[in-house]
Amino acid sequence: MTRRSLFVVLLLWTPAGLGAQEPQNATLREALNAYDNLDFARAGTLAKRALTERLSGPDQARTYELLGFTYSATDSQAKAVDAFKQAILLDPDRQLDANKVSPKITSLFYSALGQVLVVRQLQVDSARFVAGQGGVPLRYTVTSPARVRVRAINGPTALLVDSTVVTGAVNLRWPAQLPSGAPVPEGAWLIVVEATAGQNSFSVSRAVRITYGAVDTLLPLTSLPGYQELPETEIPPQSWRPLGLSLLFVAGTVAGTFALNNGDLGSAPGSELAGVSVATLATGLVMTLRRPAPRPAEANILYNRLLREQLAQRNADIAKENAKRRQQVALTVVPLPKSEGTR
Amino acid sequence: MLAGVWVTAWPASAAAQQGSIGPDLVVGEYREATSSMRYRGIGPGATGSFTFHRVTVDGTFASVQMDPISGSQATESFKATSIDAWLRWDALDYLGFEVGLIKRATDSEFAAQSVGAVRAGARTHTLLGPGAAVWLRGDYLAGAQFSGGGSAPLAVEIGLGLDIRWSKRFRAAAQYSFQRLDRKTNPAGGPEVSVPIEQSLARVGLAVGF
């Protein structure tokens, strides 16, 4: 590949972020223009000159990054790595878009990343949970093996969240509890991640605000979902039973009367027996023809009783749970704007 | 109208404790010795009933003026006053066992016999529908004593009853009973003579519950 074509490739793969924000320093702006015009020697010279001037933090990191790009373009790899290291130390969360930056520059950037000790991309997620039953998700990345201590600080109170030797991405959950088990006090808390390896150390912090809230209580149930009470009475089907029973009783009486009748006294008496028998049969017929009265549906009554017992049990459980929840505290954790890392 | 009081016993399972009382009309037929000695009459009655759990006490009263029916060889009327009592224990929802007394007096010893006896038997009952019940009774009348002397080795009674509850307080009832007493006597120390007695009564009336 010729030097000219390499320049074209590097230009095409220049990170968009390099010129995305207008720098405050005029020399840096001039250096970026020179880089955009493929004048890498002039870009490097101007970038070095800018470093001698008064620069804001972001401009300083951007200047080192530009130097890294420039050295990469001029095949000064060791210098490029050094420049990227400075940029990373100034802005640990700095990232290159692998889809827009050439693999050569990206590999040099990651080489620099492996040679410094920083804690990158510290993230504290918003969370709402019941104290003692959840935690605040924390994530960070350590670029080199180091002992990392994570603390939560609020005024004179400093709580150790984690202390371990790690490298790479780490996920933690902070229960937001004091050693006594009580929830941490309301207010602004600082999550500090300190990495130490030999003489090198790096720390980064993120502020969060913790507020108290009431824990949601459960509403009592008026019915069990999917179940409903059944009617406790039912209309029995029309039946000839009343007439049959009256016939049976009358027949028994008539048979008994005729069987007991003494033949010496003549035929059995009829009018008294007939009158009462007719009244009984008429009553049986009326009871047969009339609409049956509702009768208790035992199975449904038992089912409803079971259902009410279950409902009462569930509501008792809910009441117990609500009593417990009223004594609990819901913690709401919201990250505050990001703070700068320190070396 | 000839009125009496008649009390009906409701099935014991209806309530733990209840009673009823009410008037009714009694009609009856009385036969003695031969088929030609027949009387028929009408009169008032009275009954009391009380139920406590499974135990029921029933009592009835009737005062019937008996007159010879046409074609009868009987010539003299008489008034029969009877008192009946039952003490029943409902062993099952549909069956009860009972003991009791019967006392029937006549105002003319020449026309009809006065009689007294104890009774023991059973009564079955069932509901025909809401508020309506029917029952059937069979008793043996033991130790029968007659004003004219003699005894009745065979003395039985059968009964049919219908109870209708109109409301919580008011009830109506109809009842039939048939008694057979095979009285045997030996007048003047002579040979034993059979003098059977039969009586059938029907009564209808109202009752008030309490």
Give me the DSSP letters along A102-167: -HHHHHHHHHHHHTS--EEEEEE--EEEETTS--EEEEEEEEEEEEEEEEEEETTEEEEEEEEEEE
Helix axes A241-260, A271-289, angle to 10 degrees: 170
Per-residue model confidence (pLDDT) at position B3: 38
Mutate to test the interface with B, among A280, A286, A289, A295 (most CBs of B within 10 A): A280
CATH code assigned at B54: 2.40.128.100
For residue A265, the chain B residue with the least C-alpha distance is: B35
What is the complex's ipTM, to 2 decimals? Answer: 0.89
For residue A236, the chain B residue with the least C-alpha distance is: B129
What phi and psi, each to the nearest 5 degrees, are found at residue A7? Answer: -60, -40
H-run or E-run covering A187: strand A187-197
Q: Which of A272, A292, A293 lies at the smallest CB-CB distance from B202? A: A272
- Interatomic CA distance for residues B181 and B187, integer angstroms: 18
Q: Which residues of B touch A256 (CB under 8 A)?
A: 138, 158, 178
- Min Cα–Cα distance to chain A from B34, Å: 5
For the segment B106-130, the average pLDDT, to the nearest whole number, is: 90
Residue with the two structure tokens 């009475």: A233
In a domain, B81, yes or no: yes
Contacts of B94 (CB under 8 A, 6+ apart): B124, B125, B126
Residue A266's pLDDT band (cuts 50, 70, 90): confident
Of A276-285, B29-38, B81-90, the range with the lowest mean pLDDT is B29-38
How confident is the model over A20-64, as pLDDT tens digits? 567 888 888 899 888 888 888 888 899 899 889 888 888 889 999
CB A333 within 8 A of CB A188: no
How confident is the model over A113-143, as pLDDT tens digits? 888 889 988 989 899 998 888 899 999 999 8
- The domain defined by A119-215+331-335 folds into Immunoglobulin-like (2.60.40)
Strand B193-209 versus strand A200-214 pairing type: unpaired
Residue A10's pLDDT band (cuts 50, 70, 90): very low
Percentage of chain B beyond pLDDT 90 is 60
- Min Cα–Cα distance to chain B from A305, Å: 24
Would the pLDDT of A248 be above 70? Answer: yes
Check CB contact under 8 Å for A287 and B129: yes
- Interatomic CA distance for residues B160 and A54, integer angstroms: 125
CB B8 within 8 A of CB B20: yes
| In chain A, domain spans | 3-114, 119-215+331-335, 233-325
Check CB contact under 8 Å for B178 and A266: no
A6: three-class secondary structure by DSSP: helix
**Domain hosting residue B77, numbered range:** 12-209
Residue with the two structure tokens 């029943």: B88
The candidate with the shortest Cα–Cα distance to A59, out of A33, A27, A82, is A27
CA dihedral A37, A40, A46, A50 (to 10 degrees): 100
Mutate to test the interface with B, among A233, A249, A295 (most CBs of B within 10 A): A249
Would the pLDDT of A291 be above 90? Answer: no
Of the spans A3-17, A48-62, A275-289, which averages the highest pLDDT? Answer: A275-289
Residue A6's pLDDT band (cuts 50, 70, 90): very low
CA dihedral A324, A326, A329, A332 (to 10 degrees): 120
Residue B15's pLDDT band (cuts 50, 70, 90): low
Of A123-127, A157-161, A321-325, B6-10, the range with the lowest mean pLDDT is B6-10
Check CB contact under 8 Å for B160 and A250: yes
Average per-residue pLDDT for chain B: 87
What architecture is the A3-114 domain classified under in CATH?
A: Alpha Horseshoe (1.25)
- How many CB pairs lie under 8 A apart between chains A and B? 111
Per-residue model confidence (pLDDT) at position A1: 39
The candidate with the shortest Cα–Cα distance to A200, out of A307, A338, A289, A88, is A88
Mutate to test the interface with B, among A248, A254, A257, A289 (most CBs of B within 10 A): A257
Per-residue model confidence (pLDDT) at position A340: 44
* Number of domains within chain B: 1
In a domain, B2, yes or no: no
Average per-residue pLDDT for chain A: 86
B59 is written with which tokens? Answer: 């009592």
More confident residue, B130 or A315: A315
